[in-house]
Amino acid sequence: MSKTFFITTAIDYTNGAPHIGHAYEKVLADAIARHRRLAGEPVFFLTGVDQHGQKVQQSAQKLGVPPGEFVEGITAKFRALWKTLDIGFDGWAATVDPVHKACVQGMLQRLWDEGHFYKAARSGYYSVRQEQFLTDKERGPDGEFGEEWGEVVLVEEENYYFKLAAHKDWLLDFIDRRSACGQPFVLPGFRVAELRNAVEKLSGDLCISRPKSRLTWGIELPFDPGFVTYVWFDALANYISFAGYDPAPGAANEGFKVLRPALHVIGKDIVIPPHGIYWPVMLHALGFRDEELPTLLVHGWWNLGGAKMSKSLGNSVDPAVLAETHGCAAIRYYLLSDIATGRDADFSLERLVQRYNSDLANNIGNLLNRTLSMAKRYRGGLVAKRPSPLEDFVAGKVRDWEAAFAVFDAQGALQALMDIVTRCNLHVEETAPWKLAKDPELSEQLDTVLHTLAESLRIVSILLEPALPREAAAMREQLGVSSPPALSNTAWGGLADGHQLGDPVPVFPRIETAAE
């Protein structure tokens, strides 16, 4: 059985509409998945929505609708946005799905039977208004809980706990061994030390339940109907429940095996503790071998004006509206090219327009248009195959593109592609085909230039596929290339002698704004 590249994103809370940060993560994962498909690898790309929990229950209550109805509406918004943004996922993880529920309950029952949980009473401060326990983090500078919490009472509550701390030494050892063999558990590698420090400090166990008196919108504990599980045994389990995992003791899990290990694309806020600590320990407790555990690809955050994107600010760049006004290509290209994977960036609508217009409309669009127009005018669209002075340059950039994608650096990959386009546009200026066309003695040189440009564009249309699949396909259509895009076709010389090019149709119409 051939190994499948298994890539997931964080599942998004359905407590509010999707914002540009959610969109970034999905576009990044989609580009990585499409890159692997180009390489001919089987891919399973899983994304979805996190639908349970107290916040959802509260929001639904406020609106006076059942939580199931509430999440359905928001889930529909996420799905519609992913369709608009060409997110080509293979599996959809919605945590109210009965398949998920059965898997989570199976996991919980098994871990309970094997002695990984215990029940204990803990006391703590509880906000009656917000219906949640408070920690010292919620105290104001004066040491008191602020007015927003309303009446705060000391409550003693029984809950179930997962014996997390018992696995601390194993987890430290696992993190170190993964780094030592050059396959860090967390990427980019600079995050490993941060995680390791947090694991060193790990002392308590993980509370995995809420009594139904407080929370009903969740998955019931199979061994105690008075409780639902909260939150990570529900949310994190999506990565295996929707990939066909059978939690029954001794299950063969043959189909699921081809999907391990996974690449989890997540934001920096959910590394410590959920994905970096709870998740590997849960999998370890379930009997996953170390080599079956995932790698976490941790991306940074899009901020607005240097500040964290709040719900209200986030809505000011609603990606669904932006897609209507500026188009999917502009959003995808901006989100992939204007941030370094792992780092933060500031979202700017002006930059989005500027990058689209300069890189896509002016640079690629112009090259495609002038190449097809000149070929049509001078040669009736027929390309004669000739040795090219740019062959080695382009091959080098294809290697750079590949090296960048190998480390999930979409920005670097797009830069390599854009370097080819810039070099080709320069080549047009240097060789001035309109002059060559006037002199029959220079006909051979004109053929060489036209072939160089058309062949480079053919390769660019493949390299553009992970970032902008629709536009890449439109380019190939105009170039008269019918073979499906594949990495194996990025070698120089794919266009046959006498290849017929098509007519130019703008693929990247400029975005005109009031300011321009």
- The residues binding ligand MSP (CB under 6 A) are 10-13, 21-22, 24-25, 50, 235-236, 238, 266-267, 269-270, 301-302, 309
Residues 363/423, Cβ–Cβ less than 8 Å? no
**Least distance in angstroms from the C-beta of 24 to ligand MSP:** 5
**Least distance in angstroms from the C-beta of 45 to ligand MSP:** 15
454, 440, 435, 432: which is closest to 388 by C-alpha? 454
Comparison of 16 and 504: residue with beta carbon closer to ligand MSP: 16
**Least distance in angstroms from the C-beta of 425 to ligand MSP:** 33
Comparison of 50 and 447: residue with beta carbon closer to ligand MSP: 50
Helix (H, G, I), strand (E, B) or coil at 500: strand
Comparison of 173 and 269: residue with beta carbon closer to ligand MSP: 269
Q: Which residue is nearest to ligand MSP (CB)?
A: 267
- Please state, in angstroms and rounded to a whole number, the distance separating the CA atoms of residues 331 and 349: 10
**Least distance in angstroms from the C-beta of 19 to ligand MSP:** 7
**Least distance in angstroms from the C-beta of 418 to ligand MSP:** 24
Comparison of 16 and 222: residue with beta carbon closer to ligand MSP: 16
**Least distance in angstroms from the C-beta of 451 to ligand MSP:** 43
Rounded CA Rg of the chain: 27
Comparison of 231 and 475: residue with beta carbon closer to ligand MSP: 231
Residue 372 CB-half CA count within 13 A: 21
- Please state, in angstroms and rounded to a whole number, the distance separating the CA atoms of residues 52 and 201: 29
What distance, in Å, lies between the first and last C-alpha atoms of the chain?
A: 55
Cα–Cα distances in angstroms (integers) from residue 234 to residues 165, 274, 341, 407, in the given order: 20, 12, 28, 30
Comparison of 52 and 451: residue with beta carbon closer to ligand MSP: 52
Q: Which H, E and C letters describe 298-338, residue by residue?
A: EECCEEECCECCCHHHHHHCCHHHHHHHHCHHHHHHHHHHC
**Least distance in angstroms from the C-beta of 238 to ligand MSP:** 6
Comparison of 209 and 238: residue with beta carbon closer to ligand MSP: 238
Phi, psi for residue 272 in degrees, rounded to 5: -110, 120
- Please state, in angstroms and rounded to a whole number, the distance separating the CA atoms of residues 76 and 74: 5
Beta-ladder partners of 125: 134, 154
**Least distance in angstroms from the C-beta of 91 to ligand MSP:** 14
Comparison of 266 and 462: residue with beta carbon closer to ligand MSP: 266
Comparison of 10 and 192: residue with beta carbon closer to ligand MSP: 10
**Least distance in angstroms from the C-beta of 332 to ligand MSP:** 15
**Least distance in angstroms from the C-beta of 248 to ligand MSP:** 23
- Please state, in angstroms and rounded to a whole number, the distance separating the CA atoms of residues 434 and 455: 19
- Please state, in angstroms and rounded to a whole number, the distance separating the CA atoms of residues 222 and 508: 55
- Please state, in angstroms and rounded to a whole number, the distance separating the CA atoms of residues 208 and 161: 6
Comparison of 343 and 435: residue with beta carbon closer to ligand MSP: 343
Please list, in sequence order, all residues whose beta carbon lies within 8 angstroms of the beta carbon of residue 281, skipping any fewer than 6 positions away.
Answer: 162, 164, 167, 170, 171
Amino acid identity, residue 455?
E
Exposure string of 195-204, with b = 16+ CB inside 10 Å and e = fewer, is bbeebeebee
